[in-house]
Structure 1
């Protein structure tokens, strides 16, 4: 399951708000004290109530309604769960909402200036034909309803009346004109409780990493990722561990029963009132993971930057993990840039954006950094701002980029005193593309690095910085040369738009991506694979332009390692892009471009730059 949306009612600064999430990467931006952390902490309370615990002070102070709730809608990965050995389909039980989401609501009554016990309900699109939802009825009441109202339309002998789910399905099917409406179903009663127990085991694992640093030995910046490592490892082995647990429980109960049998021989009156019962702790309380330090300085005694660096590399490792557990994982990270060198900030952010390539992972990040925000596709941005004293939320195509730029304090990144020297601006998608062009330009009679008349910009295609800089570049009234990869179809529209402006030229690459322009003979400089990755037939170049090199090479390295080649290490696609751009591109020569049949194309790009110099 992944989160589709979050609804907060009377929770802190939010009176009534719904926030929709992308199912991969989400970036929450806004001014200080706007409510970014509140969103993450509400989810922590919903899932764990551990790192952040619910409190009476979480109630919105301006609300006349003293009821506070956190409601999360999930995209269901499963709809069928085993309840009392019977497969129960939550869709057929009408337990999904009108959008097809599994929506769970947790509510606290805050009257009398104290927090009441938690009430958990499912918000469902449920038939209003029944006074009480059928999942909340005891089996005796279901049998009574079946015999009194449906005996004339249902063959009662064909139904197993010992199975509540079978009785409910018969009633649903036999009820004419089912009318659905939004209903809150209490899941603390009867089969509702059993269904909730099954659903809880399928909900995603949620981990919150906060930006606040505590001056204690148990600093959460260290402890949170270490605990997460333990929980993640346990989640991947959960089925095996549960089998072990079941064997232990059964064995213990067997021994207990054998003990009672012996006790009955001596004192049956005592033995008859006893029964064996086994309790157990959560698996993650039985294991503890840490790092030992050879230099004698404990991890929790090191500087905050080093402690945060542990978190950074935990996520880098996660991004390259080959498998995950059976449950989805949601990582919520506050201000990952905290205490980090700018270089590490960018590396961490890219690692976080890579995590959702594992389809079982969802990431939610907050930041104040314009530079990091500029790396995120606009459809993954959640923008918070206040209007008329209330918090407003913009997402996807509704994000006002001008307002975002103002809120984050984005300033023109071209100094005025140097802009008068500029003759042409080279506009590329990302920082690796800038590195690539810097490294290959000397092959084409031009030096982008040292020529003050040329400036390279990483626009990010359709991302925030693209639009911010695009508005600004128009004011400079300078020629622009735009070069985008062919792998993103929507860039064609951007190319057309740029070409419609005077003194501007744009093109998409004939090959799929910039990485296709690195000759495969150079791969062995970094990866001990010789020529095995490349099709050795004479016509290998015919399919080369359409290969997704980073993804395919990453998969190839994995297969080689699994086949026993210990000299190879697994590399993510993003790491391969970095190696190609920063290292292999330096080794490209004219002859290698000609061998790939791309010299004329690449030379044409640089000719467009030269004519403005």
Structure 2
């Protein structure tokens, strides 16, 4: 599972329900005390704590319950409930986007409750099957004469049969389903182990080799080493106990000569087994035997964050997705080290299962990050407002002007000795995912084509469908003095033809074009769709591909992927599966390769 959205309500400054989308790499940006750390600490409570403090409630609404929720995608195909394999979709535990949405509610009195917000059957008598015990489900099965072919010892099988019996009359509503009450107390313990591991590295922490992150990985290493030597250590312990017991027995025998009654009350006994882990401690030292806690604060934080990673990536967390949350990674760091940290974060997120969320209020660090990863937080009438990437033109302009968050654009923020030669402008993050994936495949086939994933000379910026006109009209990127290469969906209506003409009339080397097919998804081959979603579809140039695929999936299961989710998966997971042969089959005119060759010419000039 991967975290895709955080939901906060009545938690500290976030009184009104606020949803913050999360990418594989997410940067929370804003001034001090605007609510960045609040988001990270809310996640720490959700994943690692069962209660909140009274001061965590909004100070003006202390009598109302607090809600912290998380939305997850990339769900496992199967889960085990009641010792039987089923799935989130079969149990109707996913929302309309095909994701798992979990809400933890913290009342003013009483214990925390856990709910799943799902698109669930709403027919009377069939809307609470997860609440029912085995004997209740059996009674319903028998009353409906569904015994044939249904295993009456398996609750999930009976639920599936009852829901299937509704046929076309089944109806759905999005509502909250208890995950930890009544008979579904079996539900949450099965879901919780599937969630990602969440670890928070705070900014206001001590930086010495006695810090917890510094100790944990070595303690884990020592535990592993001791387990490997357990047989020898047990032999040593037994021999020590034998010798000590022998001495104690001899001592009692000698004591008996002085005071037989006292000696009779004494028995040799070890109070507890030896704890080998406590027999070892460590400290890191550098050149000239200088310990870590005497080194500079920047060095200490780098080392301790490495310990933090080592702890999280230990065998304890094998097989689980990981979310790192790091407060102000730029603290005490030279700009070169900041650049190294950001590059490391980018590399980490490319590993399967790793997500990173950071906070910062330093423009220089934000400038090193992909613009689609930015979340700009401001106070709006006393409540935090979160702008996501490029979805709001007004906020984007403020971000660009006040924080300088445009990524990797000009020295000294760009990689050393390199100037960005081209800015590629597309509509959204899905287009970025498509182009970068196809460029990697094309580069492997023809090295003269640039790999957009690794070139320091090119930056891709999603301008946002709703704000695209504002970006072009106001020419926000003009101050960069860098040519722009714009690619926009035609949407079968040539909606962006006027914008393209406006850009092409510039005299700064910029150019723009619309796709000849409807949008990027129309360049993906049907074989990839079949492998990714298990449906067969013949893709045309004008088809709304995500909507058509979603319709096919929802015909099988009404809670299957929405068009938006299909679109994201097509570009993020499908585009990397495209081969040059499949691309040429869908794009015999080599339109996409033509874009990439045009782009490559800018860095070859």
TM-score normalised per structure 2 = 0.58
**154, 166, 172: which is aligned to 1:163?**
154
Q: What's the CA shift for 1:507?
A: 8.8
Whether the 8 Å CA contact 1:28–1:383 is kept in 2: the answer is: yes
Q: What's the CA shift for 1:49?
A: 2.3
In the alignment, the residues of structure 1 paired with residue 31 and residue 377 of structure 2 have an alpha-carbon distance, to the nearest angstrom, of 8
Deviations 1:425-455 (A, max 9, x none): 9999942571799xxxxxxxxxxxxxxxxxx
Do structure 1's residue 119 and structure 2's residue 113 form an aligned pair?
yes
SS in structure 1 opposite 2:509? Answer: strand
Do structure 1's residue 172 and structure 2's residue 163 form an aligned pair?
yes
In structure 2, the CA distance between the partners of 1:169 and 1:296, relative to structure 1 (3 Å rule), is: same
**380, 404, 414: which is aligned to 2:373?**
380
Q: What's the CA shift for 1:77?
A: 2.5
Deviations 1:401-444 (A, max 9, x none): 22214553789x9xxxxxxxxxxx9999942571799xxxxxxx
In the alignment, the residues of structure 2 paired with residue 473 and residue 462 of structure 1 have an alpha-carbon distance, to the nearest angstrom, of 10
Query: Which residue matches 2:136?
Result: 141
Q: What's the CA shift for 1:169?
A: 1.0
Q: What's the CA shift for 1:175?
A: 2.7
Query: Which residue matches 1:359?
Result: 352
Q: What's the CA shift for 1:15?
A: 1.1
Whether the 8 Å CA contact 1:428–1:483 is kept in 2: the answer is: no
**98, 104, 107: which is aligned to 2:105?**
107
**320, 330, 347: which is aligned to 1:337?**
330
Query: Which residue matches 1:569?
Result: none
TM-score normalised per structure 1 = 0.57
In structure 2, the CA distance between the partners of 1:43 and 1:288, relative to structure 1 (3 Å rule), is: farther
Query: Which residue matches 2:399?
Result: 404
SS in structure 1 opposite 2:70? Answer: strand
In structure 2, the CA distance between the partners of 1:301 and 1:426, relative to structure 1 (3 Å rule), is: closer
Q: What's the CA shift for 1:172?
A: 0.9
In structure 2, the CA distance between the partners of 1:460 and 1:320, relative to structure 1 (3 Å rule), is: farther
In structure 2, the CA distance between the partners of 1:481 and 1:345, relative to structure 1 (3 Å rule), is: closer
In the alignment, the residues of structure 2 paired with residue 165 and residue 228 of structure 1 have an alpha-carbon distance, to the nearest angstrom, of 44
Pairing 1:455-494 to 2, within 5 Å after superposition: 460-462=459-461, 474=478, 480=481, 482=483
Whether the 8 Å CA contact 2:199–2:323 is kept in 1: the answer is: yes
**190, 201, 207: which is aligned to 1:209?**
201
In structure 2, the CA distance between the partners of 1:12 and 1:499, relative to structure 1 (3 Å rule), is: same
In the alignment, the residues of structure 2 paired with residue 431 and residue 212 of structure 1 have an alpha-carbon distance, to the nearest angstrom, of 30
In structure 2, the CA distance between the partners of 1:397 and 1:157, relative to structure 1 (3 Å rule), is: same
Q: Which runs of 5+ in 2 are unaligned?
A: 228-276, 422-455, 464-470, 490-495, 513-599
Query: Which residue matches 2:4?
Result: 4
SS in structure 2 opposite 1:72? Answer: strand
Deviations 1:6-33 (A, max 9, x none): 1111000001333343431111111111
In the alignment, the residues of structure 1 paired with residue 148 and residue 279 of structure 2 have an alpha-carbon distance, to the nearest angstrom, of 52
SS in structure 1 opposite 2:8? Answer: strand
Q: Which runs of 5+ in 1 are unaligned?
A: 235-240, 242-284, 414-424, 438-456, 509-599, 606-613
In structure 2, the CA distance between the partners of 1:296 and 1:32, relative to structure 1 (3 Å rule), is: same
In structure 2, the CA distance between the partners of 1:159 and 1:11, relative to structure 1 (3 Å rule), is: same
In the alignment, the residues of structure 2 paired with residue 344 and residue 351 of structure 1 have an alpha-carbon distance, to the nearest angstrom, of 10
SS in structure 1 opposite 2:15? Answer: strand
Query: Which residue matches 2:265?
Result: none
